[in-house]
Amino acid sequence: MTTSPTDPGTPTPEVPEELRNNVAITPLAKLLDPIYNWSRRNSLWPLGFGLACCAIEMICAASSRYDFARFGMEVFRATPRQADVMIISGTVTKKMVPTIVRLYNQMAEPRYVISMGACASGGGPFKEGYSVVDGIDKFLPVDVYIPGCPPTPQALLNGMIAMQEKIDNQSIASAPWYRKGDPTAEVVPVPVLGPDLVDVRQLDVIKEEAAKVEAEVETAVNA
Ligand code: SF4
């Protein structure tokens, strides 16, 4: 064993003289990453569902004029178990969130979420509406946001390409979904729809705030 000229602390294997011009030594992950990422980035299969007007643009992106099949993204799947991209295309209502989260939980790892349009990213024109969630990222981890109301099919295509570029930079050695304690592999608790939408991860905060209000009311009554 000798040590690496670029990193003196790292031992490198001895290569016989006659093989020196024919052998390239590289970490396994560096060799696998391009192959692994290439296969995943060119077979992004979105889950086939739409939420509102943005979905029409999403459908256009799959049609012959824009044809995102050119990038290997066209196979809309009818089941979350065969899809790896969830495109949130439209207004997310409180009534719909539990279903969206349930579908996300049923997708296999690695899975990605694209937030398409103003509604999905922040509530859009309905932000103040009693029935609308102001951003799907309150519930799911979003990888790419696409601005616009609605974003054009070209914008969606651009967002999908951004998704591919993100995948290109991932490494099999550090991809979270093969690690113990991977936060992205956790099942997202399905929110509860009651008089309002309750995110069960926020139960402690909700209880604290409710106790504060209760104490304030009690003080006001006793005053
Ligand atoms: S962002 Fe605009 S086009 Fe898209 S769902 Fe909302 S209102 Fe419709």
Mean pLDDT, residues 24-51 taken together: 85
Ligand 1 pocket: which of 91, 115, 116, 145 to mutate (most atoms <8 Å of CB)?
Answer: 91
Contact (CB, 8 A) for 50 and 90: yes
In contact, 101 and 191? CB cutoff 8 Å: yes
Bridge partners (DSSP) listed for residue 114:
87, 144
pLDDT of 153: 95
Does the bond joining 150 to the residue before it have cis omega, within 30 degrees of 0?
yes
Give nearest CA residue, ligand 1 atom 2. 149
Percent of the chain with pLDDT over 90: 53
pTM of the model: 0.81
Pocket test for ligand 1, best of 49, 51, 53, 58 (most atoms within 8 A of CB): 53
| Strands 11-12 vs 85-89: parallel, antiparallel or unpaired | unpaired
For residue 91, what pLDDT is reported? 96
Q: Is the pLDDT confidence value at 71 over 90? A: no
Mutate to test the pocket of ligand 1, among 51, 54, 115 (most ligand atoms within 8 A of CB): 54
From the CB of 153, is ligand 1 less than 6 Å away?
A: no
Which 8-state DSSP code applies to residue 109?
A: S
Q: Is the CB of 60 under 6 A from ligand 1?
A: no
Q: Residue 7 has what pLDDT? A: 62
**Ligand 1 centre and the CA of 119: distance in Å?**
6
Q: The tokens 């998704």 sit on which residue?
A: 163
